[in-house]
Chains A and B, each alone.
Chain A
Amino acid sequence: MAEEPSEPHSIGAYRKAYEDGDSLLGFRSGCGFVTATWGLVCPRCGQRDLHVVRLSGRGTLAAFTVQTVPSDEFLNDAPYAYVVVELEEGGRITGWIEGTASEGALSIGAAVRWKPTYKPGVQFQLVGVASSDALGG
């Protein structure tokens, strides 16, 4: 988890970083709280000394759901999994797993990693599952 000055700390920078396939950005505050959600003051401790961090994109599932009814931006991707990922560095991030028709191989604690994509949002894939098709059924 490399730390950088707080200069690129904007929602646009977070989004550009993952859309470019460069990295997932977040911040770590003085209390140790890590999040991939933008803010100016830590919501846990109230400190302002936030350090932008490049997140590894590796973690485990903290919660998940398989959505059969999508929002408009995911119209052509349903069904898919919406997931909450517990990051290796601590803290959590949300994302989605493509081609997931049922809970199948999904379980809390399952290892996932960030998968850069041209599609919207932060996409993850299960570690050790060769193809997202294996989740179907």
Chain B
Amino acid sequence: MRETWVVGAASNRFGKMRESGREAATQVALAAIDSAGLRPTDIETTFVSNCFGIAERQAHLGPLINTALGIPEVPSCTIESACSSSSAGLHEAFVHVAGGFADAALVVGAEKLSHLDTLHATSYFAMGADYAFETRNGATFPGLYATLATAHRAKYGTRAEELGAVAIKNHANAARNPHAHFQKEITMESYLSSPVIASPLRLYDCCPFSDGAAALVVVARERFSSPPNEPLVINASVRTGSIADMHDRTTLTGLPATRLAAERAFRAAGIERSSVDLLEVHDCFTIAELLALEDLGFYPPGTAGRATAEGETQREGRLPVNPSGGLKAKGHPVSATGASQVAEIFEQFNGRAGGRQVPHPEVALAHNVGATGGSCSVHIFGRR
């Protein structure tokens, strides 16, 4: 395999976009190409994610983006893996570039749902679950993660204050991120008084419905060895799956796909967990961040909540987690999320993360889950 780098990245401000998903995707794609010091004509293949494009009456977005970038003859395809769509796109770009099928690939994810009301947005999000055997039986997306939370609580005694500590930390980080959907800090008092959405998850346990777009440029080192920014060296790009319906798995207190992805990724990267300086993990709900930290192997099962409450995962803590604010507070424009996690790490590696900067990270991990873990991506990045 060829050494493969992320040399360009861009994200817009998450929240409510005036632009269409198509326009936003094209804008961030061009910004990512510019940040890489490349021209659109350097791109040889494009991977687009736009799960809910149908809400804008649009599918087959790739050719529209490539045409608007002035590269209509470049091939494109749509990569859909629910909330892990654009990290799946990154994996496909990695496979193409590392395998020698392309020297430069574009990854772009975009979503626009803010024109829908809460009921319809909730229903769209639930489409990542199994309609016949979960959603038809009453599940919403918060509801599915809430069942994991009640099972985790029953087994480990997970407290509301531990979930709240995740929300408070991630809001504090997002308040320092100009691209974040929510840019305000919250307190434990406001967390505990927020309304229950799906018990035990409250409003402040849940990520928002966000519009947003993010893009990455992936290249072969041997062809583009002098990028204008510090590149992210892709030391592991792993995708896994698990039994799609959560209730049919052997455990209800973790995500098997994350456990498998972590095991494979650390083996591929040839590093120990102790080498990792920062994590961007999938925290669509606060319980998801605790599960991620335990399933990735950074904490034994049932202990991530206490560690979070004690401040270990804050920016200044032993293991900074979600300095961007995470899905929880930076926002979760489904198809843009995976690429935006990597865009955050790109900014962190280049020392441009401002008030949320983690001091000189050498190794970072991005973890992105599709739905309730039917699919999962783990990427590990290092410096050249």
Contacts and interface: CB of A to CB of B under 8 A. Distances in A.
Given A62-B252, A122-B137, A103 B199 contact: yes
B197 A63 contact: no
Contacts of A99: none
B269 interface: no
B143 A67 contact: yes
Contact of B133 (A36, A75, A77): A36
B150 A67 contact: no
B300 interface: no
B140 A62 contact: no
B195 A121 contact: no
A93 B247 CA distance: 7
A71 B245 CA distance: 18
Interface stretch (B54-62, B119-127, B273-281, B291-299): B119-127
Interface residues of B, number: 39
**Which of B130, B147, B154 is packed against the most chain A CB atoms within 10 Å?**
B147
Nearest to B197: A69
Nearest to B203: A69
Interface in A6-23: 11, 14-15
B199 A66 contact: yes
B140 A67 contact: yes
A64 B247 CA distance: 11
Interface string B152-181: 001000000000000000000000000000
A70 B144 CA distance: 12
A69 B136 contact: no
A21 B58 CA distance: 40
B71 interface: no
Contact of A73 (B133, B136, B154): B136
A75 B120 CA distance: 11
Contacts of B140: 67, 69-71, 82
A134 B374 CA distance: 36
Interface in A48-101: 62-75, 77, 80, 82-84, 91-96
Contacts of B139: 71, 82, 94
26 contacts: A11-B132, A15-B132, A15-B136, A35-B248, A37-B130, A37-B133, A37-B248, A44-B243, A62-B151, A65-B147, A65-B150, A65-B200, A65-B201, A66-B199, A67-B138, A67-B140, A67-B143, A71-B123, A71-B135, A72-B123, A73-B136, A82-B144, A84-B147, A91-B248, A92-B248, A94-B137
Interface of B: 118-120, 122-123, 126, 130, 132-140, 142-144, 146-151, 154, 195-201, 243, 245-248, 252
Interface of A: 11, 14-15, 35-38, 43-44, 62-75, 77, 80, 82-84, 91-96, 102-103, 108, 120-122
